[in-house]
Structure 1
């Protein structure tokens, strides 16, 4: 039986009042979640701060690129480092720990000799020894507490005119980018194994290395000098795997890098830091 019109109007009025009352009440906070198939985006980490140092160069006829210097890399050109390398003063060298690290250098504070708007990426490959026959503010460029880089002239001329000689520069540590994988050059004799590790991307410098044969567990290696790592163990006639940890704590494991029939003097390529 249909409701009288007067009753319908009264019900509508009551419902309107009830809706208004509910709308005026405080609402409880709720959480809302959105889902997406795309990974969340993160802002890139700010680049490291520029620090002050000085830089000099050595002539192209200098043989240090052929012998590789204090990091033990051997011939730097054959090793793929080219002329984008640097020797570091004692304060920066860290007893060889820094070998393989990458730096960006730029010339500053000298409008006469600097090439404006330029910088160069270098790999630490050598040590600039102190010369205590001269004061640190005189001829002892690499004496403590000086932060000093020694570059091949080919690299120096990317950021400054060669006549500048001892130049003020700024530097910052950056991530290394290398082509191909990490290279392992195996040397030694009998049960003594020495491994030179080169072409390392990421942090560039290495703090720990382990080696594994097919009949052994993971064996920690000791730093011999530079980036030469050694171990006393008989690993002949076993495929070799390597675990390399950079100074940033990231580890890369390369399984069966060297085949069972490897020999001393051979170089093998493994995985690379990204």
Structure 2
């Protein structure tokens, strides 16, 4: 006589196996369509340093093009990424939880902080990777703002081993589009991106055009050589991590102006 365990279900026929397979595929497809970005596993393979002072003035600007980080909503809880994590700008906007581990300089309880990637920590080929070249490939490294670093470890440590994981970016309101350029060149800086936070592709549509792919100028800045004067403008954004796509319809009115910031759409 066979015993059945209530805690384990074992399919007994090919039909049941096929049904479970379809349910699994459907669940995967639903998550892909929704583009849900969930926290990843903790990775114990990185280190962290800091740059600048407590006022975080040195962190303003940066390789992602976010400009004044206070005005763009990122504040001081930011980090620069080594080139491996920066990934030619695809890492811009991603959010990480970081905590100090295995060091006497870690705060008790190993608290974590959530930071946004806003800058590149360039390689220093004049120094070895274990002595000053902290951001040299293939290292996974976070060069944090000093206020952020001081929330996980004593700053006098200089460098500490850390564990990190990707987490969803929690943002208020829609994506921000800062329109720049000139009559025949549209340059847009994209900030306040929720969910995965990162961007792989952007397309733009005027009220009298179809969808036109934009190219990455640098960081989170995208460009297209086309005139959109007198047209309302929509943007289609695809996340790098989830491939989720969102459309911000008519985010800028026909009377849009260079230098203005418009808001619409959001990644989940």
TM-score by length of 1: 0.80
Inter-partner Cα distance in structure 2 for 1:65 and 1:132: 22
What corresponds to 1:53 in structure 2? Answer: 46
Tell me how far apart the structure 1 counterparts of residues 126 and 38 of structure 2 sit (CA, whole Å).
41
CA contact 1:195–1:230 (8 Å) conserved in 2: yes
Select between 143-152 and 222-231 the one with higher mean Cα deviation. Answer: 143-152
Residue 250 (1) aligns with residue 244 (2): yes
Q: Please, which of 102, 113, 117 is the counterpart of residue 109 of structure 1?
A: 102
**8 Å contact from structure 2 (residues 51, 58) kept in 1:** no
Task: Tell me what 2:231 maps to.
Answer: 238
Gaps of 5+ in 2: 1-15, 17-26, 31-35
The partner residue of 1:215 within 208, 214, 219 is 208
Match of 1:77 among 70, 79, 93: 70
State whether residues 115 and 160 of structure 1, in contact with CA within 8 Å, keep that contact through their aligned partners in structure 2: no
Assess if the C-alpha contact under 8 Å between 2:105 and 2:160 holds in 1.
Answer: no
Note closer, same or farther for the CA distance 1:45–1:191 as it changes in structure 2 (3 Å cut): closer
Counterpart CA distance in 2 for 1:98 and 1:223 is 13
Cα 1:45/1:59, change in 2 over 3 Å: closer
C-alpha separation between the residues in 2 aligned to 1:132 and 1:169? Answer: 23
Tell me how far 1:180 sits from its aligned partner. Answer: 1.1
Deviations 1:155-180 (A, max 9, x none): 01111111221000011111111111
RMSD: 2.1
- Residues 92 and 46 of structure 1, relative CA distance in 2, 3 Å threshold: closer
Contact 1:131 1:142 in 2 (8 A): yes
- Asked if the contact 2:37–2:168 (Cα under 8 Å) also holds between the matched residues in 1, the reply is no
| Residues in 2 aligned to 1:223 and 1:192: alpha-carbon distance in whole angstroms | 13
* Equivalences for residues 169-248 of structure 1 within 5 A: 169-247=162-240, 248=242
Higher-Rg structure is 1
Q: Give, in whole Å, the separation in 2 of the partners of 1:194 and 1:64.
A: 25
Measure, in 2, the Cα distance between the counterparts of 1:115 and 1:156.
14
- How far residue 219 of structure 1 moved from its aligned partner, in angstroms, is 0.9
Aligned to 1:135: 128
How many residue pairs are counted as aligned between the two chains?
A: 233
Paired residue secondary structure (1:176) = coil
Quickly say closer, same or farther: Cα 1:177–1:223, change in 2 above 3 A. same
CA distance in 2, matches of 1:218, 1:268: 19
Structure 1 unaligned spans of 5+: 1-30, 32-39
What SS does structure 2 have at the residue aligned with 1:204? coil
Distance 1:210 1:112 in 2: 46
Partner of 1:166: 159
State the secondary structure of the residue aligned to 2:70. Answer: coil
2:97–2:167 Cα contact (<8 Å) kept = yes
Does 2:73 match 1:86? no
Question: Which structure has the higher relative contact order (CA within 8 Å, separation 6+)?
Answer: 2
